Amino acid sequence: MNSIARLFRAREAGILVMLVLFVAVVGLIQPRFVSVDTLRIVLLAVPLILVAAMGQMMVLVSRNVDLSIGSILGFSAIAAGMIFRDHPEWPLSVGFAVGVLSGAALGFVNGLVVTVFRLPSIIVTLGTLSLYRGLLFILSGSKQIDPNDIPEPLIRMAQTSPIDIPWIVIIAFAVAFATWLFLTYTQVGRQIYAIGSNPAAAPLRGIRVMPVTILVFTLSGALAGLAGLIYAARFGYVNPGITGVGFEFTVIAAVVIGGVSINGGVGSVLGTVLGVLLLGSVQVALPILGVSGFWQNAIYGAIILIALVIDRTVRQGGLRGLLARGGA
Amino acid sequence: MNSIDKSPVASTTPRIVVREAAAPRPRWQVLLIRPETVTLLLLVLATIVASHLSPFFADLGFILESSTYYIEFAIVALVLTLVIISGEIDLSPAAQMALSACLFGTAFKAGLPMPVAMGVSLLAGLVMGAFNGFLVTVLRLPSIIVTIGTLILYRGLAQVLAGDKSIGGFPGWFVGIDYRMVGIVPVPVLVFVAASLLLGLFLGITIYGRQIYQIGTSEIAAIHAGIRVRRIKMGLFIASGITSSIAGLMVASRLGSVRYDLASGAELTMVLIVMLGGTYIFGGRGSILGTFLAAWLLVIIATGMTVANIAINAQLTVMGLLLIVSIIATNAIYARSQR
């Protein structure tokens, strides 16, 4: 147990070192990268990914994956945006509720299909990725939500707050803190780890795998829904064909850099937060370094593959274990 | 019933329970609940519904012409069927199509002669497939996540290569493969039919075909039976890469230009065709015939929806739903039939 605890600590320390090294190297090449302004840009880039990453992290810990969060984000943003547009007299909280609850409902459907029919989540969510995208086109009538439809208070949440840090940043870190409390101090939170470490053994220890897994997908959907509202606040418009497309890959990249194992059972909130910060820094650093934005996806893909190899290396006990013959 | 079962001494001596083996299912039942049969029935049903939607639809020439868009993905789906039967998955073919087509376009723009540019594209497919295979068979990483990673990587590299511009200006003989006809059959459809026959024979009658099924049914048993599991899987990933680059060239020919977002989102279409055809997502079961029929089912459904004036974006709903329903159905069928 002790050695496992040490490994966790080592993982997060490793990510932190990578983050510091990255900032240092970029800062050496382009000194203006290390500044309060950059920090502010990174902090603004982070909430969208961070909120959804908390959900995706829980899904990965339970040994599943959710590819549909990009479409859920788009769906929730459209649903909330339509409330804002059609009923400007209603309070902001109604739009928030619609966004988060619609996300939760879509996540619930994912969880239900995966658990009831015992299907691999990757294929199910590949299906719902398109299903939900199609539904949001039907819901929105292919019309986008314009900046003047989005209420002023929501836009302000991406800019100001009492303590000079935008509200959306505070919300995102509050979500991360709540996730940490949930995973560390509740029984259900620990059960998610147990299910991911050994799905066959979990029911033998009295864990009800089905409801817990459904809950994990529902939470992931709800958080993607919240991310949809953050998207609307930050960008001021929602386009059915663009909003959230490919978002799942960004989030998975961030979570995997954060040391969450895709084989389930392993992952921490702190690591995920650091992973998101590192990815956010990469995003901000590319244009500052004069690298074309076209490189972004290639870098994400490479990051996921490198993280996979590192993860496997750690578990196999070094490179020799990694390349050992036998098995398949 | 057996007398041993009822005897009073059974309480003192260990009970011997004799169970009769279940009677074999009648052959017609086995055939009827095969997923391929379901696909065929759906195909007939969809054709009837679609021809009621529009009188134009009942024209074979029209269906063949409009099939060329899906046939490119169906060709890749044939190889993907083998990959899934072997117990792995490849989600990266659509991205491989884009990258190899963009490499082809870039090579052509750089002044290389067409055959060389096409060679570059095929070589790229081979390298990409081998890279997937290396990560899966040598580093033993799960193919499902590996190919998500390479899908983003390959698509990203295509974006680096082509930017957001399209590359075109290919010579006339290369452009418009979907308008080259043999009778009323467009060339891509012929390629698909030929590839189906070839792969169907390969899977059905060669030793390698049987070994792919064995690997998918139980990999450990296959290793102990002396099957070269890694080598076969490597071969399948490379085949997937090369086929993707051929499909990428066909798209380039059909559109007359290449862009980095070529075939974007097509991983859904490919997986959908394989799943509709009744290939078991957990490996070990499936057939080329099923994938062949499913490709036509998809063509009929998609064309039918277009004829019925359903917007392309709304069609996504139906495609997603179809994928989920078909894997649930296939699962249910295989859970019922004897393993």
Q: What is the pLDDT of residues B135-194, one digit of tens each?
A: 999 998 889 889 999 999 999 999 999 988 899 999 999 998 888 888 889 999 999 999
pLDDT tens digit sequence for A155-195: 888 887 667 788 999 999 999 999 999 999 999 999 999 99
Q: Is A294 helix (H, G, I), strand (E, B) or coil?
A: coil
Which residue has 């295509």 as its token pair? B158
Mean pLDDT of B222-248: 96
Mean pLDDT of B211-224: 94
pLDDT at B338: 47
pLDDT tens digit sequence for B96-119: 999 999 999 999 999 999 999 999
Percent of chain A beyond pLDDT 90?
Answer: 52
Q: Which of residues 4-63 of A touch B (CB under 8 A)?
A: none
Distance (Å) of CA B301 to CA A9, A27, A138, B280, B322: 53, 55, 19, 22, 10
Q: Which of A131, A310, A312, A322 has the highest number of chain B CBs within 10 A, making it the mutation to test binding with B?
A: A131
Q: Which of residues 232-261 of A touch B (CB under 8 A)?
A: 240-241, 249, 252-253
Query: Would the pLDDT of B5 be above 50?
Result: no
CA dihedral A140, A141, A147, A149 (to 10 degrees): -70
What's the number of CA atoms in the CB half-sphere (13 Å) around residue B278? 23
pLDDT at A12: 80
Residues linked to residue B185 through DSSP beta bridges, in sequence order:
B182
**pLDDT band, residue B14 (cuts 50/70/90):** low
* Nearest residue of chain B to residue A128 (CA atoms): B320
Higher per-residue confidence, A291 vs B24: A291
Contact between residue A160 and residue A166 where contact means Cβ atoms under 8 Å apart: yes
CA–CA gap between residue A188 and residue A186 (Å, rounded): 5
8 Å CB contact of B160 and A298: yes
pLDDT tens digit sequence for B42-80: 999 988 888 888 777 778 888 888 898 999 999 999 999
8 Å CB contact of B148 and A298: no
Mean pLDDT of A274-285: 90
Kindly list the residues from chain A whose CB atom is less than 8 angstroms away from the CB atom of residue B155: 297, 301
CA–CA gap between residue B74 and residue B129 (Å, rounded): 18
pLDDT at B90: 96
CA–CA gap between residue B254 and residue B179 (Å, rounded): 8
Residue B116 phi/psi, 5-degree rounding, is -65, -45
Query: Would the pLDDT of B19 be above 80?
Result: no
Cα distance from B304 to chain A (closest Cα, Å)? 17
Which residue has 């707050």 as its token pair? A161
**pLDDT band, residue A2 (cuts 50/70/90):** low
DSSP-assigned states of every residue in A150-190 = S-HHHHHHTT--TTSS-HHHHHHHHHHHHHHHHHHHSHHHH
**Which distant-in-sequence residues (6+ apart) come within 8 Å of A210 by Cβ?**
A115, A116
Of the ranges A48-52, A93-97, B1-5, which one carries the lowest mean pLDDT score? B1-5
Q: How many CB pairs under 8 A join A and B?
A: 150
* Nearest residue of chain B to residue A253 (CA atoms): B149
pLDDT at A40: 85
CA–CA gap between residue A279 and residue A272 (Å, rounded): 10
Kindly list the residues from chain B whose CB atom is less than 8 angstroms away from the CB atom of residue A120: 144, 281-282
**pLDDT band, residue A6 (cuts 50/70/90):** low
Distance (Å) of CA B75 to CA B38, B40, B196, B262: 21, 19, 8, 16
8 Å CB contact of B145 and A118: no
* Residues written for chain A: 328
DSSP category for residue B206: S
User: Token pair for residue A283?
Assistant: 């995003």
Touching check for A299 and chain B: CB below 8 Å?
Answer: yes
- Model-level pTM? 0.88
**pLDDT band, residue A150 (cuts 50/70/90):** confident
**pLDDT band, residue A322 (cuts 50/70/90):** low
**Which distant-in-sequence residues (6+ apart) come within 8 Å of B318 by Cβ?**
A134, B301, B305, B310
Which residue has 């993280």 as its token pair? A307
Q: Which of B283, B296, B287 is nearest to B331 (CA)?
A: B283
Give the strand pairing for B185-186 and B181-182: antiparallel
Across chain B, mean pLDDT equals 89
**pLDDT band, residue B320 (cuts 50/70/90):** very high
Contact between residue A305 and residue A253 where contact means Cβ atoms under 8 Å apart: no
DSSP category for residue A238: B
Of the ranges A96-105, A302-311, B6-15, which one carries the lowest mean pLDDT score? B6-15
Query: Would the pLDDT of A327 be above 50?
Result: no
Q: What angle do CA B47, B49, B53 make, to 5 degrees?
A: 110
8 Å CB contact of A130 and B159: no
Contact between residue A245 and residue A227 where contact means Cβ atoms under 8 Å apart: no
Kindly list the residues from chain A whose CB atom is less than 8 angstroms away from the CB atom of residue B103: none
Kindly list the residues from chain B whose CB atom is less than 8 angstroms away from the CB atom of residue A140: none
Residue B64 phi/psi, 5-degree rounding, is -60, -40
Of the ranges A51-60, B44-53, B196-205, which one carries the lowest mean pLDDT score? B44-53
8 Å CB contact of A138 and B328: no
Higher per-residue confidence, A211 vs A6: A211
CA–CA gap between residue B180 and residue B200 (Å, rounded): 25
**CA dihedral sign, ordered B128, B129, B131, B135:** positive
Q: What do you get for the CA distance between the two ends of chain A, in Å?
A: 30
CA–CA gap between residue A16 and residue A309 (Å, rounded): 19
pLDDT at A149: 86
User: Token pair for residue A285?
Assistant: 């650093």
Query: Would the pLDDT of A270 be above 80?
Result: yes
Q: Which of A298, A312, A322 sits opposite B159 (nearest CB)?
A: A298
Alpha helices in A117-258, H assignment, sequence order: 121-140, 152-157, 167-185, 187-197, 209-235, 247-257
Q: Which of A122, A138, A295 has the highest number of chain B CBs within 10 A, making it the mutation to test binding with B?
A: A122
**pLDDT band, residue A153 (cuts 50/70/90):** confident
Q: Which of A56, A121, A123 has the highest number of chain B CBs within 10 A, making it the mutation to test binding with B?
A: A123
8 Å CB contact of A328 and B233: yes
8 Å CB contact of B313 and A312: no
**Which distant-in-sequence residues (6+ apart) come within 8 Å of B9 by Cβ?**
none
pLDDT tens digit sequence for A78-108: 999 999 999 988 999 999 999 999 999 999 9
pLDDT at B174: 93
Of the ranges A155-159, A176-180, A212-216, A311-315, which one carries the lowest mean pLDDT score? A311-315
pLDDT at B309: 85
Q: Which of B138, B153, B265 sits opposite A302 (nearest CB)?
A: B153
Q: Which of residues 94-123 of A touch B (CB under 8 A)?
A: 113, 117-120, 122-123
